[in-house]
Amino acid sequence: MSTLQDKVAIVTGSGRGIGREVALKLAAEGASVVVNDIDEAPAKETVSDILEAGGQAVACVGSVTDHDFADRFIGTAVDTFGGLDIIVNNAGYIMDSVIQRMTDEQWSTVLDMHLTAPFRILRAAQPYIKANPTDYHRKVVNVSSVSGVYGNIGQANYAAAKSGVIGLTKTLAKEWGRYKVNVNAVAFGFILTRMTEAVAGEDMFIEIEGRKVRAGVSQAAMDSVTRTNPLGRPGTPAEAAGAVYAFCLQEMNYVSGQCITVDAGSR
């Protein structure tokens, strides 16, 4: 039997990048997955790939920052698959700037995306979890970053949000232990996605929700990662997904309130 057979998982930001690989991995291990992306096409593509591989998936399209999203997301899992066992808070993007140039919008947008949205999703999930006890452990995996652990120049908003995710994780581990829920976090280092690939010029920006968002890094930054990383390369989305998957296993039932860095030992 697959390790996640008969489990129901929800994964934010799973149309692309790390989230997509998480959704594919959980589905491959037997979980029914609610896939989310702000854009319909990538969400449906991930769903289609899961279905073609023999898995079960459905899309819940929309921004995690919308006030009605959390209830709709939880409802999609319960109404479609009859349960909720795994929550992965992954969605996000960056709006970097040194603090003296950072606008209120840059600050609040990133905090809303990376911290408030996971809070709302977990808050929305609590009534269902409390009312539907299980004889196995449910799992929550919140995606943080090494920026939230160590800080990073130009990322006061992102680092604050990702540090907050760790605090949220440790608090929920204490509050939800009574429900047999393990709550952990993964703090990713440099993982190669469309947000971190080496590009130049205008290609370094994409539009998300009407905002111009930086996507990609300079070749110099990529060379620095290659030079300083103990493995000599960035991580892959599949490797990042592997860390999330590990926290979803029943073998990890006595591990809760932890944040592991996934950066090849760079720090």
Q: Which two three-digit tokens encode residue 116?
A: 């408030």
150 noted as active-site residue: no
Using DSSP, state whether 217 is helix, strand or coil: strand
Whole-angstrom distance, CA of residue 185 vs CA of residue 122: 14
Tokens read off for 130: 């409390």
Other C-beta atoms closer than 10 Å to the C-beta of 112 total 16
Q: Which two tokens stand for residue 34?
A: 């609610």
* DSSP label of 149: H
Catalytic residue among 136, 150, 158, 254: 158
8-11 and 32-35 beta bridge pairing: parallel
Cα distance between residue 36 and residue 42, in whole Å:
9
Q: How far is CA 36 from the centre of its chain?
A: 11
DSSP 63-127: -TTSTTHHHHHHHHHHHHHS---EEEE-------B-GGG--HHHHHHHHIIIIIHHHHHHHHHHH
Residues 226, 220: Cα–Cα separation, whole Å: 10
Q: Which of 16, 14, 18, 89 is nearest to 57 (CA)?
A: 14
What token pair was written down for 146?
């090494």
Q: What are the residue numbers of the active site?
A: 158
